Chains A and B, each alone.
Chain A
Amino acid sequence: QVTLKESGPVLVKPTETLTLTCTVSGFSLSSVGVGVTWIRQPPGKALEWLAHIFSNDEKSYNTSLKNRLIISKDTSKSQVVLNLTNLGPVDTASYYCARISRGFRGSYFDSWGHGTQVTVSS
C-alpha cells in the first residue's frame, strides 16, 4: 500500500524558512520512473504545483517560486524534503506531497498525502 505523509511546522513567522518532510512507504524513491512532488493549496483556492524530484535526482521547480524553493531526497530514509525561503502571508496554505508515476504518455500524481496546514504569521 502506497502512503505519503507530510510533516512540518504549523505556524511560521514571516521571512523564515519553511522545511517540510514527506515520508513515503509502499514504494522506493530509487524506483525507475517514480518521483515525489509538492503541491500547495491556499485556503479556498486552487492547487499550485511547487516542485518535484525523480529517482534519478532530476528536479524541476515552479518558475515563479524557483529562487525560493529547494527540493531534495534521502532515499535511505524514504523522505523528500522541501525548503521554501523568505515566507510571507501568501504562503499560508495546505501543502501536499504526492507520488509521480512517469508513463510513456506523460506523468501523473497517483497517490497523495493528507496534507499539512501551514500558517505564516507573526
Chain B
Amino acid sequence: SYELSQPASMSVSPGQTASITCSGDNLGEKYVCWYQQRPGQSPVLVIFQNRQRPSGIPERFLGSNSGNTATLTISGTQPMDEADYYCQAWDKSTAVFGGGTRLTVL
C-alpha cells in the first residue's frame, strides 16, 4: 500500500519560515493536500491540488510538490499556526494520510 512520511515534529520561532515535508514514491505525480489540526479541533484544509489555497487561508501558507517530496511552507509563522499538519494524497481511489507533523511555535 502507498505510504506518506512526515517528520513527527518541528519547531520554529515566531516570524520565521517553517517547511514541513511529506515524502512518498513518485509523489510529484500525484496531487497533494495539507490539513491543519489545532488541539481539540477538527482538521482544516489549508492547501489542495499541491498549491491552491481555499478561501480564508492566509497567503503565508504555500504548497509545492516535486519528485518524491511535497512541502508545506509557512512564511512569517504566527503562534496561531501551532498545530498538527497532515499531508494527504490519493492512491488510485483510496486516500492516504501522512503520519502528521506537530509544529511548535516558540
Contacts and interface: CB of A to CB of B under 8 A. Distances in A.
Asked if chains A and B come from one complex, the reply is yes
Interface of A: 37, 39, 46-49, 52, 60-64, 96, 98, 103, 105-110, 112-115
Q: Give the dominant DSSP class at A's interface.
A: strand
A122 to B, nearest CB: 28
Contacts, number: 62
A47 B35 contact: yes
A103 B45 CA distance: 15
Contacts of B67: none
Contacts of A103: 48-49
25 contacts: A37-B95, A39-B97, A46-B86, A47-B37, A47-B88, A47-B97, A47-B100, A49-B95, A49-B96, A49-B97, A60-B93, A60-B94, A61-B94, A62-B94, A63-B1, A64-B1, A106-B31, A106-B33, A106-B90, A108-B45, A109-B33, A109-B43, A109-B88, A110-B48, A110-B54
Interface extent on B, as a size class? 20 to 34
Interface of B: 1, 30-31, 33, 35, 37, 42-45, 48-50, 54, 86, 88-90, 93-100
Contacts of B35: 47, 109
A5 B38 CA distance: 19
Contacts of B43: 47, 96, 98, 109, 112
Give the one of A63, A103, A112, A114 with max B CB within 10 A: A112
Given A60-B94, A113-B42, A46 B48 contact: no
Contacts of A114: 42
A106 B42 contact: no
